Amino acid sequence: MKIYENRERHKRTTHCPTCGCEGHMWITCPAPAKMMELEKQGKEPDITLYGEWQQKSYGRRDESGKLVYHDTIFHRMGRAFRRQERRKDDRKEKKARKERLYGKPAKRKVSCGFCGETGHNRRNCDVMFNFVDDLERASTNYRKQFYERFVKGMGFAEGALVALSADQFRHNGRWEENWSGMGIVTGINWDKVNMGLTLGSWEYKSIMKIEVLVNGDTFHFENPFHTLVENDTVAGKAGKIAELFARGSSWGVRIDSVLAPSENIPSEEWFNNGYTECWQWIAKNKRLSDVSGYLAPLIAKFHPSRRGRNAGKLNHRLSQYGYTRPK
């Protein structure tokens, strides 16, 4: 899913102005206190406490082997250490002044960042644990169905011969119209096979990239399953292929059919596992109210307990996720 796969794209990296390392600011920088301890012991500064660039600058030594900036390092780190201590004292004084004027603040009620209920947090939220477990079980079942119906059933894998068509698309710098052809599948991004392929939402959908060799020319497609889904729905076989993909756009190159199945499909054991980290990350970083509308219907659609004696328990959990079955 895009929301999981792009999680690092807009993440800001913090750089400390004191030591030049990543992951913290001057407030919590450990280098000043460690440097002051070294000075107290009569040792030289530890250059490895600096970032890479600062190590090159401060690591220069004279002919006798002494650090050129020995005194400068201790002076600057001492100033940084005193600044940290002043901040701590100021915060303690401010807190004590508030308590003298207004008394101790009332103890805040603990509330869960996932489900929103009070009295617990994410670390002991049963709703979150059940949500992740249900997503993992639904995801595994989805991948099994994908394998049975699309990979094993149609023979779609590397080496398959497929029929292609496009109303209009751009390739090698020029536009092609009313195009059709045949090609051999040479690459498939199997790692992206997950329930997000059934979603049309930009943030939560998944992109499966496919590479096809056509007359010696390599084509790259993203989710080119529009015709397969459309034909499957028209034929009234909604339980076969159509439920595995979003209908998507008809723009660009489409795979119309598999003309000759692949003789080298991936193993079923490998395919039935994988893609569990996504659900754990979403539960830790998003609220249930934000994701339920996208993910709860996937649980209802692909969970192995949606029928049978455990269906009642699943429906109860789905109601906790805010899901209501359509009438």
Of 181, 183, 164, 188, give the one whose Cα is nearest residue 265: 188
pLDDT at 17 over 60: yes
- Crossing angle, helix 126-146 and helix 311-320, to 10 degrees? 120
**Amino acid identity, residue 244?**
L
| Extents of the domains making up the chain | 10-102, 156-264
Residues with Cβ < 8 Å from 167, sequence gap 6 or more? 177, 178, 250, 251
Mean pLDDT within 231-238 = 64
Percent of the chain scored above 70 by pLDDT?
Answer: 95
pLDDT tens digits for range 177-214: 888 899 999 999 998 888 999 988 888 899 999 999 99
Kindly write down the DSSP assignment for every residue of 236-288, as one continuous string: T-TTTTGGGS------S-EEEEEEE--S-PPPHHHHTS---HHHHHHHHHS-H
Distances (CA, A) of 233 to 53, 146, 148: 60, 16, 18
Distances (CA, A) of 135 to 5, 47, 194, 271: 17, 48, 11, 17
> If pLDDT is split at 50, 70 and 90, which confidence band does 235 have?
low
DSSP state of 30: S
Alpha helices for the chain (secondary structure H): 2-5, 31-40, 52-58, 70-102, 126-146, 153-154, 226-234, 268-271, 277-285, 288-302, 311-320
